[in-house]
């Protein structure tokens, strides 16, 4: 784990520990914010902290002098005294209790204070003897849910990739949309925001027949357990083996889905509330209060704060609630796309940004065929690309060092180039270009000689091995590839696999500067196990002025469907269409590709 990621984890844990100890709310929030900033930043925090550069650290938005001092202490001494002091006051097992879904620091603190719970085993004991029911607001249904969550945690142990969760959500939205009485249906939560991993799935419906809707939901195919079935909310645990099997997911993979039944009249406010993020919603509520209003899932209300009863219970008529656009407008804000609602500066926008959309993509520049490890012929892949309205398809099978992936020797590649050019002559309506996904070797050199590279229309240079390199070595390696005059795109630049492999962690400022200088595009690889570049890297690259490629890394026919995930990652990074080379018209794109030949 990198220094910055380790520091982010420590600050997040400090936030939780301070709350468990009943500390000041300001300190809780300050540490949580520091954790988010560190998680999202592309700055070389370790180098700045090692140098003791407080001024440079504080210049990073969201890092104050206190946080900077702790980072410097961690970098220079290998520990953070405040973290150690807090850890000494908190039983180790109590932090594990916090991982149980549905239990926040307040509830865990209550269990610790009142029942001596210091571990999951302790929690199971008070569940078993029934004494947990003596705690305030702790009914049998809540206890049953906690018990189920403990069991689920022991079996599951992680979050779902967006690609798997999206398939489940789409199935349930389609199914619920066909139920009698259902007028509106949509998924919300972190999935709607396009986050790379998902904890659970939120589905909202507006219906004239809630009983029928809940019955359909709780008896749907794949339901393993009904966790709750109330008037306005139902929760189920669903087996997703069918959706996950083709991706090699673990057996018995499951996900919790929450169904929320809302009034159609306040659809917009409910969708906004349940989409989040928590931090974005807090900023919206703060803005509403400053304007003499209250915002909740039922709408935006005029409210002077004198009456503590919720305005919807007082029969107050909302100022806005029907659509998200109406609510943002009443708050003096433009409509903010769901993928940008992360409290990363979106509250300062004065107009709705024109971020990239799936319809903008007109070219696929990273694809594999049966010549290496793909499952389609040149013609089969071209037919799919053409059906999606693409004007260009680059065939970029693996290079010789990727032996496991059937990498092509120089002799095979020359023959493959000829076959691609022949296919291009035969198939009308799309340009098929010969290329290669060329390995960036550990020393930064490329896997083919320059004469062979010069015969390719598209060169995607990607790291596949040596992905545990130190940041300086990783930076040097990627810079050498970027500086090569025949490279067009750096494919999945870190080589990470989400939840499995962190990949390279170079000095991103150096990478961005070199990419701009040498006119090289950095790729967002659309596969949901990669999404590399990640969203925060994209944001920093866009701010720096880099070109971005969004490619599906096609191996199978269904890989083209992953485009939506790459585009959402681009949106989360505030990517505009003009910055993405895949949106350019054919003449502009082809001219740029030829400029490196």
Residue 133's H or E segment, with its range, is: none
Would the pLDDT of 586 be above 90?
yes
Rounded-to-integer distance, Cα 142 and Cα 413, Å: 62
- pLDDT at residue 250 in the model: 44
Beta strands in 404-457 (DSSP E): 431-439
Task: Give the CA diameter of the chain.
Answer: 80
- Mark out the alpha helices in 446-507 (DSSP H runs): 450-454, 471-483
Provide mean pLDDT across the span 359-374. Answer: 97
pLDDT, tens only, 145-166: 888 778 766 655 468 899 999 9
pTM for the model stands at 0.83
Write out the two tokens for 309.
Answer: 């009863």
- Mark out the alpha helices in 178-335 (DSSP H runs): 189-192, 210-218, 241-244, 267-275, 278-290, 324-330
pLDDT, tens only, 74-131: 989 888 999 989 999 998 889 889 888 778 888 999 999 999 999 998 999 999 899 9
Residue 366 · residue 525 · CB < 8 Å: yes
Provide mean pLDDT across the span 542-556. Answer: 97
The helix-helix angle for 140-156 and 120-128 (nearest 10°) equals 140
Provide mean pLDDT across the span 264-281. Answer: 96
Rounded-to-integer distance, Cα 578 and Cα 547, Å: 9
Rounded-to-integer distance, Cα 446 and Cα 467, Å: 16
Residue 460's H or E segment, with its range, is: strand 458-462
Provide mean pLDDT across the span 521-546. Answer: 97
SS3 percent helix, strand, coil of the chain, rounded to 5, is 50, 15, 35
Write out the two tokens for 381.
Answer: 């892949």
- pLDDT at residue 152 in the model: 66
pLDDT, tens only, 562-581: 999 999 999 999 999 999 99
The helix-helix angle for 105-115 and 3-20 (nearest 10°) equals 50
| Least-confidence region, from 125-134, 182-191, 329-338, 361-370 | 125-134
Q: What is the 3-state secondary structure (H, E, C) of 249-264?
A: CCCCCEEEEEEEECCH
Rounded-to-integer distance, Cα 371 and Cα 440, Å: 20
Would the pLDDT of 6 be above 90?
no
Backbone region of residue 60 per phi and psi (left: phi > 0; alpha: psi in -120 to 50; beta: other values): beta
Would the pLDDT of 547 be above 90?
yes
Write out the two tokens for 281.
Answer: 């919603």
Instruction: Write the burial class of residue 582 (CB in 10 Å: 0-12 exposed, 13-18 middle, 19+ buried).
Output: buried
Name the pLDDT band for 449 (thresholds 50, 70, 90).
Answer: very high
Would the pLDDT of 242 be above 70?
no
Instruction: Write the burial class of residue 325 (CB in 10 Å: 0-12 exposed, 13-18 middle, 19+ buried).
Output: middle
Name the pLDDT band for 47 (thresholds 50, 70, 90).
Answer: confident
- Most confident among 47-51, 120-124, 430-434 (mean pLDDT): 430-434
Write the CA distances from 517 to 142, 479, 482, 574, integer angstroms.
58, 11, 9, 22
The secondary structure of residue 548, as a DSSP letter, is E
- pLDDT at residue 244 in the model: 42
Write out the two tokens for 266.
Answer: 């306040």
Provide mean pLDDT across the span 6-30. Answer: 90
Residue 432 · residue 382 · CB < 8 Å: yes
Length of the chain: 597
Provide mean pLDDT across the span 487-494. Answer: 98
Q: Pairing relation of β-strands 431-439 and 392-398?
A: parallel
Higher pLDDT, 41 or 358: 358
Name the pLDDT band for 241 (thresholds 50, 70, 90).
Answer: low
Provide mean pLDDT across the span 247-262. Answer: 73
* Residue 310 phi, psi dihedral angles, 5° rounding: -55, 140
- pLDDT at residue 155 in the model: 56
Rounded-to-integer distance, Cα 348 and Cα 502, Å: 32
Would the pLDDT of 143 be above 60?
yes
pLDDT, tens only, 307-361: 888 888 888 899 999 999 999 999 999 999 999 999 999 999 999 999 999 999 9
**If you average pLDDT over every residue of the chain, what do you get?**
92
Which residues have C-beta within 8 Å of that of residue 581, sequence separation ≥ 6?
Answer: 363, 365, 489, 521, 547, 548, 549, 589, 592
Place of tokens 């107009």: 351
Please spell the DSSP secondary structure of 439-453, one letter per residue. Answer: EB-TTS-BSS-HHHH
pLDDT, tens only, 459-471: 999 999 999 899 9
- pLDDT at residue 467 in the model: 93
**How many other C-beta atoms are found inside a 10 Å radius of the C-beta of residue 519?**
15
Which residues have C-beta within 8 Å of that of residue 281, sequence separation ≥ 6?
Answer: 272, 273
- pLDDT at residue 404 in the model: 84
Rounded-to-integer distance, Cα 186 and Cα 192, Å: 9
Rounded-to-integer distance, Cα 117 and Cα 107, Å: 11
β-bridge mates for residue 434, sequence order: 395
Instruction: Tell me the domains of the chain and their CATH numbers.
Output: 1-90 (1.10.150.110), 93-157 (1.10.150.20), 161-261 (3.30.460.10), 268-348 (3.30.210.10), 358-594 (3.20.20.140)
């Amino acid at each position: 784990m990198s220094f910055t990621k380790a520091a982010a984890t420590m600050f997040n844990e400090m936030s939780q520990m301070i709350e468990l100890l009943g500390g000041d709310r300001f300190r809780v929030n300050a540490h949580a914010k520091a954790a988010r900033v560190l998680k999202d930043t592309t700055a070389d925090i370790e180098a700045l902290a090692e140098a003791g550069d407080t001024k440079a650290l504080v210049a990073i938005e969201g890092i104050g002098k206190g946080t900077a001092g702790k980072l410097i202490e961690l970098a220079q001494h290998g520990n953070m005294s405040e973290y150690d002091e807090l850890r000494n006051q908190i039983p180790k097992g109590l932090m594990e209790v916090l991982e149980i879904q549905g239990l926040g620091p307040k509830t865990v603190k209550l269990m610790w204070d009142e029942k001596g719970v210091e571990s999951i085993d302790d929690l199971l004991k008070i569940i078993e003897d029934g004494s947990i029911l003596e705690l305030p607001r702790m009914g049998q249904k809540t206890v049953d849910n906690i018990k189920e969550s403990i069991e689920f945690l022991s079996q599951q142990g992680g979050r779902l990739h967006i690609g798997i969760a999206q398939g489940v959500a789409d199935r349930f939205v389609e199914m619920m949309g066909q139920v009698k009485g259902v007028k509106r249906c949509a998924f919300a939560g972190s999935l709607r925001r396009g986050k790379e991993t998902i904890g659970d799935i939120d589905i909202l419906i507006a219906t004239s027949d809630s009983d029928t809707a809940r019955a359909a939901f709780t008896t749907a195919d794949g339901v393993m357990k009904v966790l709750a079935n109330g008037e306005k909310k139902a929760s189920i645990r669903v087996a997703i083996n069918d959706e996950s099997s083709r991706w090699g997911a673990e057996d018995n993979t499951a996900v919790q889905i929450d169904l929320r039944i809302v009034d159609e009249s306040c659809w917009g406010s409910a969708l906004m509330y349940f989409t989040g993020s928590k931090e974005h919603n807090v900023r919206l509520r703060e803005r509403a209060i400053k304007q003499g209003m209250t915002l909740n899932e039922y709408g935006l209300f005029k409210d002077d704060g004198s009456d503590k009863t919720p305005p919807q219970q007082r029969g107050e008529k909302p100022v806005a609630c029907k659509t998200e656009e109406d609510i943002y407008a009443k708050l003096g804000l433009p409509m903010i796309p769901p993928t940008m609602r992360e409290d990363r500066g979106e509250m300062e926008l004065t107009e709705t940004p024109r971020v990239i959309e799936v319809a903008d993509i007109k070219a696929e520049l990273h694809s594999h065929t049966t010549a290496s490890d793909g499952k389609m012929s040149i013609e089969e892949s071209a037919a799919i690309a053409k059906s999606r309205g693409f004007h260009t398809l680059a065939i970029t099978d693996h290079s010789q060092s990727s032996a496991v992936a059937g990498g092509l020797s120089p002799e095979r590649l020359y023959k493959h180039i000829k076959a691609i050019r022949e296919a291009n002559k035969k198939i009308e309506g799309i340009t098929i270009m010969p290329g290669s996904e060329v390995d960036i070797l550990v020393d930064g050199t490329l896997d083919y000689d320059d004469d062979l590279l010069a015969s390719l229309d598209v060169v995607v240079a990607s790291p596949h091995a040596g992905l545990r390199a130190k940041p300086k070595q990783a930076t040097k390696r990627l810079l050498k590839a970027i500086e090569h005059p025949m490279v067009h795109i750096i494919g999945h630049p870190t080589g990470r696999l989400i939840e499995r492999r962190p990949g390279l962690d170079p000095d991103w400022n150096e990478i961005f500067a070199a990419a701009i200088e040498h006119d090289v595009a950095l790729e967002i690889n659309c596969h949901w196990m990669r999404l590399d570049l990640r969203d925060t890297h994209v944001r920093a690259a866009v701010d720096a002025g880099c070109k971005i490629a969004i490619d599906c890394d096609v191996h199978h026919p269904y890989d083209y469907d992953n485009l939506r995930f790459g585009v959402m990652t681009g949106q989360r990074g505030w990517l505009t269409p003009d910055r993405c080379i895949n949106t350019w018209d054919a003449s502009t794109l082809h001219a740029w590709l030829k400029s490196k030949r």
